[in-house]
Structure 1
């Protein structure tokens, strides 16, 4: 129980009331807040005007979007978005609203296709609200769709189609509160980051636990877009940049080079030029090393397929992460997103054949290794000479009891180091992976990803690389799973794979994705995510008097086991002092051993 120990003088009473007002949530405020919670807690916004303000519809426009009508202080609900889009669908032959799945709570997931028709046209896929408190993409996309359908911007569809998912995480979107995402300046109320099961959908592209993720991967496979854009809002430090974006590994550490080179060489310059002309200040997303010390640098690092950008890289699909700056006003962020999306459609149309060639080149490549671990490089890999930062000082916070930052809305520039990564572990890919038929959950995920595999019709005897876990540990629950970390020991064994076993060849367009899911060392492997809890169950045991008799017999009749056993007694005092461990070890030597404990069920075909 919290107790006030100081006498309540009139001054202290006023201070206490003011403090409680900042942490309490009045019932009326929870229903319809009249102002942003961030109005009282975030630093002052820097002034901004830009040419993109001309994109806003006039107040009397019958096709004004809900966000424009609310002067960007509010964002529309799922029902309001559906109603507005259905009206646009009815008004324009260019617009079609379709469903492509259901959320965890059963809501219909929708996308909008903007198209002039024509078979085989390449698709630009854009999504908003995977983190539904970061909802800029939704309102920018509605404005852009309106202008394409009704405001003479239909030429954007001459060579490409636009497929727009306004709200990916609908269940999280509808859990709206003024206290969600308090670091983001508007809208007044926002949704949550995770879905109804508290799974972050931008951590679920590889493991596919959520129905929303499975629906999105199915949509991606059906469209095979030439460009995939995922709209977010950043966290971090204050800076002058408002619209930032990046790619897997910030381009430097991409797993597939051809699509990464297109993003760096063509997409980035095109959208940066358009944003600058519209009055915005773009940059490749500066992921901070230390938000308290911006001068320590920004991080460039490889990514795994749990993320949208990492997944796109692993499958050879150009993917862009938009990370608008959290402290810029919602109006400014939405307008910048509109400009970026329009520019993206233009460069995708211009470069459609070039992108298709890059995708084909990446998918024809056959990497022989998978990078699985890395660490920060000892020295910067580059510098931004005039990084556009914002000055801050510090103050002693009564709440935290330490020095906290106070941003001053004063522009500064400084030399920003870029901190890269040094590889510390790679694994050489096998010829194939063998998955037992009973691992139905894994096989289901492979099928959903479109990874090629064959199901054997007869048993096969093979020499396979078997993996055993050493010192496994369960980590804190994360994204609906209990992740596992361990060291691994590999060894060749003769093994009979029965009929119905699944063989996954590495020689396929999605071979690198298969490796990231099936190689035990991978940070996004099924093993790392905890798909095989049976590995951690102890082997069944029996009565001590039976085990002792069996162990005595083994030691008397098997010189090899006796030699190894005596060595363990000599070298491992803890083992020597544990009667149950001694008997369990001898029991494990007596026969083929129990097939599950600490044995990774997926084998690797080397030869």
Structure 2
């Protein structure tokens, strides 16, 4: 099985604007005038399917002294930051298995916390147990993982489930995006059933933290990357709630690349086999309906099918894949009741601990194989294939359409009537791959680039004296148009303090994704060098033409190359400006018309 990457947010936003918001406005206005607002979206969401799963047995009564804040509220209100930390402190104080740790600060200065759950002295003497690292609330309106984790920690500490820690440790981040978590509102995520208040998606810095793993512009994700380096987990779980349309599944999950497109093939195969089998079996036994996370070709036309794709290291799943860490993205279905979603997350986390305890040797071997691999190329561009890879059974709901007075068009309407349909699944094909060099070079003045690589744990050598090197130098038109990239080779002298980043290292692919200028996750693509790209004044044609004419007369070697280029490329031969630019690039003024990317590539 291969689940699917993220929904297209822009399509979702259009769907909300067209279908949900016009229906909400009258209800919102009426409740404002009445002085009290109930959940206005309940009237326009698709019908809610009844559910009573076996996982309900994990809920304790609201009067129980160890009940979580969510259980005390009847699964209506999720605790705020202060209540969450206070509850964790109470568990920490009452159990030797649980300890609360700060690991950084948010953009607004709030402490970031993780919980370490483990048995002292368990396992072999001196041996480090495998770690399952669970992260909740990177999108702060999606906090199913927080409330499920509080219940699981309570049961480990107080209700006899400490057996889960016999062969594995748990590291749990209850809220990563804490500033956005405190920016909670009834109006948050209007398409999501519960909890009552929901935090914001973006951080106080204005960033989507699950797009920041390559850039590390946020203190929150920078702190998480340090935790990943500290614990090197056997399994990394990032808990979200889906966007999109209605279907029967309540707990869905995905992995980067899913086999065909995974960069770390060995860990991907383990996730697709042993892990998926265990989790699906556990969820089904407890009354949940698990599946691969569906991503649509077009949400407004679901019959067109589903898509799978590769991922870059900007996402948690992509980052784990590039680093050889088995990583799971949980996407509970947004339209299922909050109680159902939280309990499904509990089952998934519980089973993950059991599976890693049993499979830790296989996981370690898979990680070692992936980190020892030395792929020669990195795919940096891809596009969806026109022919489906397969046709898959999908448990959805029937939908029809209605004429919306607000949009003036026919809009989807979900009926709540179950149906199983055959769904085509589309993959991608590579449109551009780059060959990795032996090493990359960066001069010492580019401190920001060097610091970013260090933050990712990329290994590098620092020159203690100057050294000559033959390198490819990436040049492009000022303004940074990567489609105009050239890679001439030249001998350069790198001063003391320069760094050489060898490609022969476990972080090879992440280094390539950050350093290769054609990568969509490169430092260039992420704007690190935008300040260095002012456009150069163009040399006027009436001056460039006589310059080229003189070179044509006085440089016989260039003249032969020029005539050969004209003979082989009719389009080039017919383009006066291209012909003049050819000479400009080879003149002494050529470097002035281009910008040199500060990362150089050693090929031999």
**In the aligned structure 2, how far is the partner of 1:421 from the partner of 1:553?**
44
Q: Structure 1 residue aligned with 2:183, among 164, 175, 189? A: 175
Contiguous gaps of at least 5 residues in structure 2: 1-21
Q: Are 1:110 and 2:113 counterparts?
A: yes
Q: 1:502 aligns with which of 472, 484, 499?
A: 499
- 1:82 maps to 2:102: no
Q: Residue in 2 aligned with 1:431?
A: 438
1:78-116, Cα deviation, whole Å (9 max, x unpaired): 011011111111111111000000011111000011111
TM-score for the superposition, normalised by structure 1: 0.87
Whether the 8 Å CA contact 2:378–2:436 is kept in 1: the answer is yes
Q: Which of 92, 99, 103 pairs up with 1:100?
A: 103
Cα separation, partners in 2 of 1:295 and 1:29, compared to 1, 3 Å:
farther
Change (3 A) 1:557 1:238: closer
Corresponding residue of 1:450 = 457
Q: 1:37·1:178 contact (CA, 8 Å) conserved in 2?
A: no
> Does structure 2 retain, via aligned residues, the 8 Å contact 1:535–1:600?
no
Alignment of 1:293-332 (within 5 A): 293-332=301-340
Deviations 1:463-488 (A, max 9, x none): 21111225856xxxxxxxxxx75342
1:341 and 2:346 matched: no
SS at structure 2 position matched to 1:593: helix
Q: Provide the C-alpha distance between the structure 2 equivalents of 1:556 and 1:309, rounded to a whole number of angstroms.
A: 53
Who is 1:363 aligned against? 371
| In 1: Cα distance, 2:23 partner to 2:375 partner | 60
In 1: Cα distance, 2:299 partner to 2:239 partner: 22
Which of 554, 558, 566 pairs up with 1:559?
554
Q: Does 1:461 align with 2:468?
A: yes
Aligned to 1:57: 60
In structure 2, the partner of 1:188 is 196
Give 1:593's aligned residue. Answer: 591
- Whether contact under 8 Å (2:321, 2:327) holds in the other structure is yes
- State how far apart, in whole Å, the 2-side matches of 1:323 and 1:316 are: 22
Q: CA deviation at 1:415?
A: 0.6
1:21 aligns with 2:18: no
1:44 is matched with 47
CA separation of 1:29 and 1:285: change in aligned 2, threshold 3 A: farther
Query: C-alpha separation between the residues in 2 aligned to 1:252 and 1:597?
Result: 38
The CA deviation at 1:404 is 1.0
CA distance in 1, matches of 2:224, 2:585: 49
Q: Indicate conservation of the 8 Å contact 1:551/1:587, yes or no.
A: no
Corresponding position of 1:523? 520
What secondary structure, in the 3-state scheme, does the structure 2 residue paired with 1:601 have?
strand
- The match for 2:12 is none
- Aligned equivalents of 1:462, 1:216: Cα separation in 2: 36
Per-residue CA deviation, residues 249-286 of structure 1 (Å, 9 max, x unaligned), is: 13331111111111011110101000000000001111
1:513 equivalent in alignment to 2:519:
no
Q: CA separation in 2, counterparts of 1:105 and 1:292?
A: 38
How far apart, in 1, do the equivalents of 2:410 and 2:511 lie? 47
Q: 1:274 to 1:439 in 2, by over 3 A?
A: same
Q: 1:380 maps to what in 2?
A: 388
SS of 1:313's partner is: helix
By relative contact order (CA 8 Å, sep 6+), the higher-ranking structure is 2
Return the offset for 1:416: 1.3
Does the Cα contact within 8 Å between 1:370 and 1:428 map onto a contact in 2? yes
The 5-angstrom pairing of residues 146-185 of structure 1 reads 146-185=154-193
Q: RMSD of the alignment, in Å?
A: 3.0
Deviation readout 1:520-542 (Å, 9 max, x if unpaired): 11111111111111442134899
Superposed counterparts of 1:268-279, under 5 Å: 268-279=276-287
Contact 1:100/1:108 (8 A) holds in 2: yes
Q: Distance in 2 between matches of 1:27 and 1:104?
A: 33
Residue 214 of structure 1 and its aligned partner are, at CA, apart by 0.8
More divergent stretch after superposition (554-563 vs 407-416): 554-563
Question: Following TM superposition, by how much is the alpha carbon of 1:136 offset from its aligned partner in structure 2, in angstroms?
Answer: 0.5
CA distance in 2, matches of 1:102, 1:459: 39
Give the superposition deviation at 1:548. 7.0
**Cα pair distance change 1:528/1:187, threshold 3 Å:** same
2:32 & 2:83 partners in 1: Cα distance? 24
Is it true that 1:490 corresponds to 2:487 in the alignment?
Answer: yes
Partners of 1:431 and 1:523 lie apart in 2 by 21
Instruction: Give CA-to-partner distance per residue, 1:282-325, whole Å, 9 cap, x none.
Output: 01111111112222211111110000000001000000000101
Which residue of 2 is the match for residue 207 of structure 1? 215
CA contact (8 A) 2:308 2:427 kept: yes
Contact 1:551-1:586 within 8 A present in 2 as well: no
**What SS is found at the alignment partner of 1:414?**
strand
Q: Match of 1:479?
A: none
- Report the CA distance shift for 1:592/1:151 in structure 2 as closer, same or farther (over 3 A): same
User: So what's the TM-score if we normalise by structure 2?
Assistant: 0.88
